[in-house]
Structure 1
Amino acid sequence: MIDGPYFILTLLTALGCGLMAGVFFAFSTSVMRALGALPAAQGIAAMQKINVVIVNARFLAVFVGTTVLSVVVAVVTLVESPDPGRIELWLGCLLYLVGSFGVTGAANIPRNKALDELDPEAPASAEHWARFLREWTVWNHVRGGAALAACVCLVLGLAA
C-alpha cells in the first residue's frame, strides 16, 4: 500500500489532474462557446486577453506543478515499484504529461501565438478565428480528457 510522502505526492498529483480537467472542461463547455457567439473581432480580442491573463502564478502553480509532480510520482513509482497500482500510476502520469502538458505545448500554445499575431479588426482574421475555435477546442477536449483519465488512473493506483 502507498503511504507517507509518496501517498501525499500521488494524491496531490491526482488533485492537480482533476483541477486541470475542470479548467479544460470549463473552457470547452462555456468559455469557447461564449467567445464563438461573439462577432469575430470581439472573440479574437477577448481570447487574446485571456491568453495574457491566464499566465499567472495560480494557474501556473497548478498546471506546471502537476507536471512536475507527475514526473516525481513516475520516478518514485519506478524506484519503489509498488506491485498493486503501478501500471495505473504510470499510466496516470503519462496521460497528464503527454495528453495535457504535451498537447498544450504542441497544439494549443502555437494556436494561441498565431491568434495573438492577428489584428482582430482585419477582415481576413474572421476566417482564421473560425478555424482557431474549431481546432483549439478539439485539442482542448483532448487535454481535458487526458487530465480526467490521469486523475482516475492515479486514484485507482492509490486504491490498489
Structure 2
Amino acid sequence: MGTVTLITAAATGLMAGIFAAFSVAVMPGLADLPPDGARGAMRRINVRIQNPVFLLLFAGTAVLCGVEVFQGRIAGGLLYVVGCFLLTMVVNVPMNNRLERTDDAYWPEYLRKWTLWNHVRGLACLASTVSLLLGF
C-alpha cells in the first residue's frame, strides 16, 4: 500500500469518526433539549464546523479519493466522494441552510432526517476506509 492510500484511508477514517460522534452523541444530546435550544445549538455547530481544519480534511479527502479512483481503487474513492462529499453538499448542507432560515417547528423533521443522512455519510466513510485498506 502506498503512502497516499494510507493517508487517504486515515482521512476517511477520521471523517467516519466525526460523523459517528455526531450520530451517537451530539444529535442524541441535542434531541434531549427543547427545540429552541437544540436548534440554536445546531446553528452554532454549523457555523463553527466551517473552520480551516475541518474544511481541509473534508475537501482534501475528496481530492485524495479522486486520486485513489485514478489509481484503480475505485470503490474506496467513490464511496467517500459520493457517499460523503456529494451527499453532504446535496442533502445535509441544504438542510442546514433551511434550519438557519426557519423557526423551531422545523427542528423535529431536521433532527430525524439530518441524523439519518449523517448515518449514511458515516457508513460511507467507514466503507471507504475499509475498501482503501483492502485495495479496492
Instruction: Give the aligned partner of residue 84 of structure 1.
Output: none
* Unaligned residue ranges in structure 1 (runs of 5+): 78-88, 119-124
Instruction: Give the aligned partner of residue 85 of structure 2.
Output: 101
Instruction: Give the aligned partner of residue 149 of structure 1.
Output: 127
The amino acid across from 1:19 in the alignment is: L
Choose which of 65, 71, 74 in structure 1 pairs with 2:66: 71
Q: TM-score, normalised by structure 2?
A: 0.96
Report percent identity of matched pairs. 46
Q: Is 1:8 paired with 2:3?
A: yes
> Which structure: larger Rg?
1
Q: TM-score, normalised by structure 1?
A: 0.82
Q: Is 1:38 paired with 2:33?
A: yes
* Unaligned residue ranges in structure 2 (runs of 5+): none
Runs of 4+ in 1 over 6 A off after TM superposition: none
Q: Secondary structure at the match of 2:50?
A: coil
Partner Cα separation in structure 1 for residue 117 and residue 91 of structure 2: 7
Alpha carbons 2:68, 2:76 under 8 Å: kept: no
Q: Secondary structure at the match of 1:70?
A: helix
The amino acid across from 1:39 in the alignment is: P
For these two proteins, the number of residue pairs brought into alignment is 136
Instruction: Give the aligned partner of residue 111 of structure 2.
Output: 133
Q: Could you report, residue by residue, the CA deviation over 1:32-57 in whole angstroms, capped at 9, with x for unpaired residues? A: 01111111000010001011000001
